[in-house]
Structure 1
Amino acid sequence: MKSILLASLILFSSMTGAVMAQDKGVVEIVTMNLKDGVSVEAFAPVDKAIEDQHVSKQPGFVSRETAVSGRKWLVVVHWKSVDAAQASMDSFAKAPAAAKFMSMIDASSMTMTRYEANR
């Protein structure tokens, strides 16, 4: 009987942990290189337009920040859920500034990783 109770408690705690993890949110890390001939000064307002016109208006958006190192651009976006992050990505091409954004980066250098928030 004790082993059944213990197994039930372990199962419940693992299920609770999974639900709680879903509530913690998602951190999305995107890195990319600017194309040759594209300056940080030229790209920054286009990136800001993507944030203002698209990303920040998506359901589940929490925050976004960018950083640069040479020609490498970093974007960190916090989302309430994986579904919210994916929905934003799926609708990205429809954003008014998306074509200009994509024309200024080396798409083959782009990487995106999503992490479960640890808070």
Structure 2
Amino acid sequence: MSTVETVRFKLMPGTDTTDFETLDRRVEDDYMAKRPGFLSREVSRSDDGEYLVIVHWATPEDADATMEGFFSAAETQDFLAAVDKTTVASGRYARVTR
């Protein structure tokens, strides 16, 4: 059964949203999309500047393996520097099929 991960966060004060969204695309293209089991990723932003990232994985193990390396990967460092870590909230869900 596929796995859905969600992450909500705001940016560090002073971070330009256009610059961040370029960093976000790089993280997806250069890191996330190259990981085993990656299916898709979408990013949304609320009016108050909170981002919501939804990532679909083939299995929970694929999600775990990717996230284990996420915080130390060279491809993610600029992205992580722009995120206000005090605002991060995440969740994981098993996809419900009908």
TM-score (norm 1): 0.76
Of 38, 49, 56 in structure 1, the residue corresponding to residue 33 of structure 2 is 56
**Which structure would you say has the larger RCO, counting Cα contacts within 8 Å and 6 or more residues apart?**
2
Question: Which structure has the larger Rg?
Answer: 1
* Greater strand proportion: 2
Kindly indicate which of the two structures has a greater share of residues assigned to helix.
1
Stretches of structure 2 lacking an aligned partner (at least 5 in a row): none
Which residue of 2 is the match for residue 109 of structure 1?
87
Question: Where in structure 1 do 4 or more consecutive aligned residues deviate above 6 Å?
Answer: none
Aligned to 1:66: 43
Report the Cα offset of residue 100 of structure 1.
0.7
Listed as ranges, the gaps of 5+ residues in structure 1 are 1-23
TM-score (norm 2): 0.91
**Backbone CA RMSD of aligned residues:** 1.1
Work out whether 1:75 is the aligned partner of 2:53: yes
The sequence identity of aligned pairs, in percent, is: 32
- What is the total number of aligned residue pairs between the two structures? 96
